[in-house]
Amino acid sequence: MAVDIAGRIAAIKKEKNALLFAHTYTRPEVQDSADLVGDSFELARRAAEEKASIIVLAGVRFMGETAAILAPDKKVLLPVYEAGCPLADMIAPSDILRLRKEHPSAAVVCYVNSSVEVKAISDVCVTSSSAVRIVRNLPEEEIIFVPDRNLGSWVSEQIPEKRFVFHRGFCPVHQQVTPEQVRAAKERFPDAVVLMHPECTPETRREADYILSTGGMAALVKEKKHRCYLVVTEQGIIHTLRRHDPGAEFFELTAPTLYCQNMKKITLESIAQALSEEEPTVAVPDQIAAKARRALERMLELNR
């Protein structure tokens, strides 16, 4: 059945000059059908560069919006429009306006996991793989980092010479992990090196050997320096990592299981339907898209 749908997806992609981009947290079969599997930064950058007429973004809504803003010449399809990101919903534009008033000389740095309205009034966007480099490259000494307080605190630890103000947002998938749970898993898998996403809390991050974005995890595994990993981020990435080093061993936390329900809403069936109907398309009003594009393009420039 999955093979039939995958074949149908491949045929429609060819007929319509479409590309399928999938985030590393999506289902294994979705990743296997994709032309590109990557983190938010890679998906955003390639959406702008590719020559396709249609891009199907297998990911949550802010990823589709980001692709549509950076690639206005392409039709961007989001197979499950209601698949959102709870972290992105934890901040409103009014929060940024208030923070700007309180810290008038600070730069507003907004994690890409945010709405277009929030991006439109931010100075620059970042992803977890680009945040440290971009914040370091900013001339401002004070940084308002929104919406993820955990990623923000991790960035601040790398750049102690700047002052940071955080919003209170967090990713519910990563926030739930405790140091005790990681220690228990380390006891079960004593040979494993611990890869952890910076969206985990500062206390939990102390248990990690490497704190990396999903793109950073993929790059490390490709080096084949280690043979055994405990992966502390959304479990979909294990499929991606196994493809990069099939001989290595990968373990995940089982208590709790790190599972993003929104990412898992995207199925092969929803992708095939989106491709054949060319719906739902991501439409961002021009005026707001232009403002959000400035923050996203600055992200691409400052990451060089």
Give me 46's structure tokens. 């390639």
Identify whether the C-beta of residue 69 lies closer than 8 Å to the C-beta of residue 63. no
Neighbours of 255 (CB within 10 A): 8
Q: Where are the alpha helices (DSSP H) in the chain?
A: 2-16, 28-33, 40-49, 61-70, 93-102, 116-120, 131-137, 149-158, 172-175, 179-188, 202-205, 214-223, 237-244, 268-277, 286-302
Cβ at position 86, least distance to ligand SF4 in Å? 5
**Residues β-bridged to residue 285:** none
Cβ at position 188, least distance to ligand SF4 in Å? 24
Cβ at position 150, least distance to ligand SF4 in Å? 10
List contacts with ligand SF4 (CB under 6 A).
25, 60, 85-87, 113, 171-173, 234, 260, 262-263
Minimum CB distance to ligand SF4 smaller for 171 or for 289: 171
CA distances for 241 relative to 108, 237, 249, 268, 300, angstroms: 33, 6, 10, 21, 25
Minimum CB distance to ligand SF4 smaller for 113 or for 127: 113
Minimum CB distance to ligand SF4 smaller for 43 or for 106: 43
As a whole number of angstroms, the distance between CA 136 and CA 70 comes to: 24
Minimum CB distance to ligand SF4 smaller for 13 or for 267: 267
Neighbours of 72 (CB within 10 A): 13
As a whole number of angstroms, the distance between CA 264 and CA 173 comes to: 13
Minimum CB distance to ligand SF4 smaller for 113 or for 201: 113
Cβ at position 68, least distance to ligand SF4 in Å? 17
Cβ at position 255, least distance to ligand SF4 in Å? 18
Q: Which amino acid is at 289?
A: A
Minimum CB distance to ligand SF4 smaller for 12 or for 250: 250
CA distances for 244 relative to 24, 140, 249, angstroms: 12, 38, 12
CA distances for 47 relative to 73, 103, 188, 245, angstroms: 10, 34, 41, 26
Identify whether the C-beta of residue 21 lies closer than 8 Å to the C-beta of residue 47. yes
Cβ at position 14, least distance to ligand SF4 in Å? 30
Cβ at position 291, least distance to ligand SF4 in Å? 23
Which of 221, 107, 236 minimizes the C-alpha distance to 162?
107
Minimum CB distance to ligand SF4 smaller for 88 or for 194: 88
Minimum CB distance to ligand SF4 smaller for 86 or for 93: 86
Cβ at position 85, least distance to ligand SF4 in Å? 3
